[in-house]
Structure 1
């Protein structure tokens, strides 16, 4: 197990994944012992099916069982690399019937473009006697101009919210009309075309709005972050939460930012082939992209009908 743990770390798995994997393998080993299976080299596909069935009998959820199989597969991958086994008995095992985490209503291109075009950056606040003093109007205008840049990246390039935090000034290529999205643990890097409607707002933000926002930052150290806030913090969670609130007021269908990304990918699949969309979306695995295909969306509509009939 120590060698297996080292192998997982070398493969780049996080500490939480390593812990979960070791726990799952230990759980499997206890089951093997009860079944009088003493040699892992003798474990076959039928044994794994029996393990899955035993999980079902014990009331283990399908999702948890699928996680067990995934972790145990890593263990046999390790044993194969050590030439202790020749086959991986977990191959081709897929747990069916796992309920999707989220059901999204896909927004049309027109709806998303309307969100971008109608997102107001110039606002007028009428203060009343009972109203607490709002932030200075100028600061709200600056924040909204930054938010509109974020919105453009969400609905045109399907950028993940966490990817917005990592964007640097150098990632924007205005002369080329492109933007580079750095890779991360969950996604691959890619370079995508900017829409013409975005370029003006991006340049205005980079050349004017961003500089003004930095003047209000509590932190004085220079930064190359593309998207900044005025409180000196590193994250954009508060700004994104406010953006979602604005979008929900504009369109009652809006649930969250993941819904925007899902809608963009669905429309890409109608225009480009699967592999190209995988690259554009930054998916590490083609299966992630396949989940947005029409056949899966038909299943999704059926789920919505069954679980949310009203």
Structure 2
């Protein structure tokens, strides 16, 4: 079997601009480190120490480290290595830019959003599909309205998210309970609601493609559940990302890919302070 190149590996998940940036950092790393394929954790720490002396911008260093991590992801995927030497290596960015995670919602609170029933069965099923994409996959409103029926693969249990100017494309796993729900919606409910020809997955009660303002309107009646917090599609997505990092403790790179963030620094903002203190001691190598 022909193995893909590292550039082709990156192209599977990232935009052309991100691939270009990562390839530049990887090639520079390999040029200066001829034995990089066999490097251990301490070798990469030493390299990043050198970078920190040359480049005071923490965000720039985050990009370099992320590119290096993808290089070792590629080696593991290709069978060149069985271990990843720097998967847990992390760079601390300016904490002043952190998301105010105390204002967000826990996974248990987000589950409450699915308990609301609609007097119309069709809308109840449609709303459950839409809400599940918000609270399980953390999609934006714009991503939801751009979904087509063909983007849902019930056989593999996945949803494909197209790239945008701000976010990368990605294929996300659906939960088992979502697959049954989506199957009912696509095969039974949506055809009953449809009034015009459209490939869009989510449609209104009038059978037309849903708009962003309609998603916000659907969330509006749920706001009394949390009178002291701001509930909207954006804060729901932010909560999901925060919970991936802090409740489930998923690796930063995995959360970056799940969220579609182009840069790991964007994902890092969602670390809670106590969780961030438990991360790798590499932070001490990069004082701000």
Same fold (TM over 0.5): yes
For 1:113 and 1:103, locate their aligned partners in 2 and report how far apart those are by CA, in whole Å.
Answer: 18
Greater radius of gyration (CA): 1
1:259 pairs with 230, 235, 238, which one? Answer: 235
For 1:145 and 1:169, locate their aligned partners in 2 and report how far apart those are by CA, in whole Å.
Answer: 15
Deviates more, 1:184-193 or 1:265-274: 265-274
What is the SS of the residue equivalent to 2:194? Answer: helix
- How many angstroms does 1:232 deviate by? 6.1
What is the SS of the residue equivalent to 1:271? Answer: coil
For 1:277 and 1:210, locate their aligned partners in 2 and report how far apart those are by CA, in whole Å.
Answer: 31
Equivalent residue number for residue 240 of structure 1:
215
Q: Structure 1 residues 277, 97: closer, same or farther in 2, change over 3 A?
A: closer
For 2:203 and 2:259, locate their aligned partners in 1 and report how far apart those are by CA, in whole Å.
Answer: 24
For 2:97 and 2:261, locate their aligned partners in 1 and report how far apart those are by CA, in whole Å.
Answer: 21
Pair 1:210 & 2:186 matched: no
For 2:124 and 2:214, locate their aligned partners in 1 and report how far apart those are by CA, in whole Å.
Answer: 9
1:225 pairs with 193, 200, 205, which one? Answer: 200
- How many angstroms does 1:99 deviate by? 7.7
Q: Structure 1 residues 295, 243: closer, same or farther in 2, change over 3 A?
A: same
Equivalent residue number for residue 23 of structure 1:
none
Pair 1:169 & 2:183 matched: no
- How many angstroms does 1:230 deviate by? 4.0
Structure 2: gaps spanning 5 or more residues: 1-15, 18-93, 277-288
Q: Structure 1 residues 102, 293: closer, same or farther in 2, change over 3 A?
A: closer
Q: Could you tell me whether the CA contact under 8 Å between 1:119 and 1:148 is conserved in 2?
A: no
For 2:234 and 2:98, locate their aligned partners in 1 and report how far apart those are by CA, in whole Å.
Answer: 14
- How many angstroms does 1:98 deviate by? 7.5
For 1:150 and 1:266, locate their aligned partners in 2 and report how far apart those are by CA, in whole Å.
Answer: 20
Q: Could you tell me whether the CA contact under 8 Å between 2:169 and 2:260 is conserved in 1?
A: yes
Q: Structure 1 residues 98, 108: closer, same or farther in 2, change over 3 A?
A: closer
What is the SS of the residue equivalent to 2:231? Answer: coil
Q: Could you tell me whether the CA contact under 8 Å between 1:154 and 1:261 is conserved in 2?
A: yes
What is the SS of the residue equivalent to 1:211? Answer: helix
How many residue pairs get aligned? The number is 184
1:288 pairs with 266, 277, 281, which one? Answer: 266
Equivalent residue number for residue 116 of structure 2:
119
Structure 1: gaps spanning 5 or more residues: 1-10, 13-95, 124-137, 299-310
For 1:236 and 1:119, locate their aligned partners in 2 and report how far apart those are by CA, in whole Å.
Answer: 21
1:108 pairs with 94, 101, 106, which one? Answer: 106
Q: Could you tell me whether the CA contact under 8 Å between 2:256 and 2:267 is conserved in 1?
A: yes
Q: Could you tell me whether the CA contact under 8 Å between 2:101 and 2:272 is conserved in 1?
A: no
Q: Structure 1 residues 97, 197: closer, same or farther in 2, change over 3 A?
A: closer
Equivalent residue number for residue 133 of structure 2:
153
After TM superposition, the score normalised by the length of structure 1 is: 0.53
- How many angstroms does 1:115 deviate by? 1.9
RMSD: 3.0
Q: Could you tell me whether the CA contact under 8 Å between 1:147 and 1:239 is conserved in 2?
A: no
Equivalent residue number for residue 6 of structure 1:
none
Q: Could you tell me whether the CA contact under 8 Å between 1:179 and 1:191 is conserved in 2?
A: yes
Q: Note the 1:66-145 alignment, pairs <5 A.
A: 105-116=103-114, 118-121=115-118, 123=119, 138=120, 141-145=121-125
After TM superposition, the score normalised by the length of structure 2 is: 0.56
Q: Could you tell me whether the CA contact under 8 Å between 2:98 and 2:269 is conserved in 1?
A: no
